[in-house]
Structure 1
């Protein structure tokens, strides 16, 4: 499994479709946002997106510049508090559309309508490090010539399931939403100048051999010499590149990777804290618990009880 897929499995990244509409003429949809990560996909037509933090926007007074979304484009809103989406043309009245309005897709005409899908990106606490810190306030992912075919194809298949209301559609929508999210992130990695962090280091070819070692044997305290040799780099060049790309030294990355593995084990398995400490290369249960609390903010057992209680209450 490649490192990006491996991390996605660990943090339970999921795309969830929550609404959509097809509309002709002038229209607007606006409202406050509750989700940490929301996505807007333009299936057909065009739309203009405004949100706090987009292109210097600082208010909802209509004076800031909009993000122009073309067919096949997707926008991800990261920690925004409000958004306004608008589109259409003509002299008729402006249709007001509820932000999560659904059920208006079966009669969509792709030749004349603006067709929009909206949803959220769910992720566990560990996933916030991966995506919330890697994405800008508004990430505009374009259906570029190199990625456009896959992204548009995934969006169209997702739309067909949402609009078709066929048997098994709930399951199919979940699967297609996952593939759409993957294609969106693939396109974003190609198009954007990523900041230092998880998403950038996971897609760096020169550092991949070193990441493979740390991911496959997290119990080993890897030294700079071994990691540098794996990537056919000098110790100094490797250390500098890793810090520039990951935003942290290799040892810090290894510690955070261990903590992500620990969170999954505490959440999904019945492993004891002592055996987990041994599996992850800590000299004692106490050393592991101290490292876990420093990274996660609570003890391993408290974390286990809290996340399992949350899962039961859903």
Structure 2
């Protein structure tokens, strides 16, 4: 008989998720008609939004560019920052608390906005029940986005079941949707942990935070001392624990991360090396060019040609000996 779970014995992500317990609270299902917009104040709790139908724009405190969301997308905000969702950039925005006070949800559904295009979304928060597992959230990016169009086979079926349940008004429907949302959050956490850790065994919250910080700001002039201060530990301790977790020192990981980021831009955009260099922490295109060839074994121009022609090196580069995601 085949085993149901074929994960590797030392698969760190599986080990973390095996004991993880998530408890989800759904605020409401929102039936919006353009123009509409609502803001959520920073509250420190892990929040999420699921778009069942329609589209909207998401703005998050500390994130420069707005994020376009489409039907079937799931966004997780693990540290509960202030954020806004709106039908378009010109739509007026009100605080969600004020909207809920003035227009309480009926049968769990909030109806709000004008008479334009319809958007259907579910909003809520979640908590990790096991206190020892809470540091997992530190390794997840400020905005964790799972797009249906990217082909995640688990996302579509879960959302379809949720849509059926929230529309049925059957007895116990709220509990069923809440448990489905628990599964949705577990899947989203797994997706992000795999992307951030590349199968590293991240049980160490400070190493997880260091990884996340470097991935979010590869352009920053990171030093061992700066990283250590950012995660509140000593330089020696961080280097030892980082090497134990990832198999390499922090600055080596940072170099590979920067080159992988540059490789993605070369393969997916028309940006010049001079434009890419400051975005990935290099002072000039010459410095990036030398580092790129040393790390990838090919010149940046040859890599771009091969990537655009769909042969040779795949866009995305390598961070730890595997193609980055």
Tell me if the contact between 1:133 and 1:197 (Cα under 8 Å) persists in the aligned partners. no
Tell me if the contact between 1:129 and 1:198 (Cα under 8 Å) persists in the aligned partners. no
Provide the residue aligned with 2:132 in structure 1. Answer: 126
1:243 to 242, 245, 249: 245
1:141 to 134, 142, 146: 146
Tell me if the contact between 1:42 and 1:73 (Cα under 8 Å) persists in the aligned partners. yes
Instruction: Give the whole-Å Cα distance in 2 for the aligned partners of 1:160 and 1:97.
Output: 29
Tell me the CA shift for residue 159 of structure 1: 3.0
Question: TM-score, normalising length from structure 2?
Answer: 0.49
Instruction: Give the whole-Å Cα distance in 2 for the aligned partners of 1:24 and 1:176.
Output: 26
1:33 to 30, 42, 55: 42
Tell me if the contact between 2:57 and 2:85 (Cα under 8 Å) persists in the aligned partners. yes
1:158 to 137, 155, 162: 162
CA deviations on 1:122-171 (whole Å, 9 max, x unpaired) are 113222211x2111111122113430x43122123223323432112132
Provide the residue aligned with 1:16 in structure 2. Answer: 25
Residue 167 of structure 1 aligns to a residue whose secondary structure is coil
- How do residues 87-106 of structure 1 correspond to structure 2 at under 5 angstroms? 87=87, 94=92, 96=94, 98=96, 101=100, 102-103=105-106, 105=109
Q: Does 1:45 align with 2:54?
A: yes
Across the aligned residues of Structure 1 and Structure 2, the Cα RMSD in angstroms comes to 3.9
Residue 33 of structure 1 aligns to a residue whose secondary structure is coil
Unaligned runs of 5+ in 1: 56-64, 201-238, 249-314
Residue 54 of structure 1 aligns to a residue whose secondary structure is coil
Instruction: Give the whole-Å Cα distance in 2 for the aligned partners of 1:120 and 1:240.
Output: 31
Residue 171 of structure 2 aligns to a residue whose secondary structure is coil
How many residue pairs get aligned? The number is 195
Tell me the CA shift for residue 184 of structure 1: 2.4
Residue 28 of structure 2 aligns to a residue whose secondary structure is strand
Unaligned runs of 5+ in 2: 205-240, 251-325
Tell me if the contact between 1:12 and 1:123 (Cα under 8 Å) persists in the aligned partners. yes
Q: Does 1:73 align with 2:108?
A: no
Provide the residue aligned with 1:83 in structure 2. Answer: 83
Provide the residue aligned with 1:7 in structure 2. Answer: 16
